[in-house]
Amino acid sequence: MTKTMAASYREILDRIKRVQAESPLAAKQVRLLAVSKFQPVEHIGELLALGHRTFGENRVQEAAEKWPHLRREFPDIALHGIGPLQTNKVKEALQLFDVIEVLDRPKLAESLAHHWGMPGRRTQALYIQVNTGEEPQKAGILPQEADDFIRWCRGDKQLPVEGLMCIPPADVPPAPHFALLHEIARRHALPERSMGMSGDFATAVQLGSTEVRVGSALFGERA
Ligand SMILES: *Cc1c(COP(=O)(O)O)cnc(C)c1O
C-alpha cells in the first residue's frame, strides 16, 4: 500500500512537470492538491510522510474530524475547501480552511464578508467556482455572470478573491472548459486557476492550471 501511494505520487508529480515543460500555456508553478475526502487519516499520513502538505476536503464536518490534530503535528499543512458550502457552515469553514474554492453565489459572499473579521479565522484566500458547463445540478456562477460577480465580490464585498475553480461536465472533452476558465481569470488578472482532476489533470496543466485537484489517481478509488 505504502509503496503504491508513493509511486503514484511521484508519477503524478513527474507527469505535471513533463506537461509543464512541453506546453507554452502552462503555468510556472502548479500545485498538486491531494483530495483526501473519504480517505482515512492513515492514508493521509502516508502522503505527509512523503513531504506533501497541500490537501483538499469537500465537507466541513469531515474536515473538522480529520484535520485539527494533523495540523498540530504538521503546522505547515494547507487545507483547501472544495465542496459545496452552506451559509450555516461558513464560520466553521473559515476556521478550518486556508483557502475556500467554492464561492459560487451572492448569499455565500455576503456571509463570508459578514464573518471575515471573526477571531480565529484561518482562511486567507477565496476562489470563485464557475459552472463552465452551465449544468443546472452543479454549483458555480454562470460564465455570463462571472465578470459582474467577480467585480462585486472584490469591490463591494472586499473579499480576497485570488482565483477561479471549475468542474467540467463529466461526459465531454474538458479542454474548452479549462480554456474558458483561464480566459475569465485573465480578464480579471486572477493568479489562481484550480482546474483538473484525476482523469484530466494533464490537459488542465497544458491549458494553464495553477492547481490540480487529484483524489483517486493518488489514493486509489474511494470507498
Ligand atoms: C472529489 C473531487 C476531486 C477529486 O476527484 P478525483 O477524480 O478522484 O481526482 C476534485 N475536485 C473536487 C471538487 C472533488 O469533489
Task: State the CB neighbour count (10 A cutoff) for residue 107.
Answer: 10
pLDDT of residue 91: 98
Pocket test for ligand 1, best of 38, 80, 197, 214 (most atoms within 8 A of CB): 197
* Torsion of the alpha carbons at 11, 17, 18 and 24, rounded to the nearest 10: 150
Could you tell me how many helices (H) and strands (E) the chain has, helices first? 9, 8
Q: Give the torsion sign (CA, 20, 21, 23, 28).
A: positive
DSSP string, 200-211: THHHHHHTT-SE
Query: What is the tens place of the pLDDT at every residue in 168-215?
Result: 999 999 999 999 999 999 999 999 999 999 999 999 999 999 999 999
pLDDT of residue 4: 87
Give the separation between CA 103 and CA 84, rounded to whole angstroms.
Answer: 9
pTM: 0.97
Which segments in the chain show pLDDT lower than 70? Answer: 1-3, 223
Ligand 1 binding site (Cβ under 6 Å of any ligand atom): 35, 37, 58, 82-83, 167, 197-199, 213-217
pLDDT of residue 3: 56
pLDDT of residue 201: 98
Phi, psi of 173 (to 5 degrees): -60, 130
Return the residue matching grid coordinates 467554492: 102
**Nearest residue (CA) to ligand 1, atom 13:** 82
How far does the centroid of ligand 1 lie from the alpha carbon of residue 117, in Å?
30
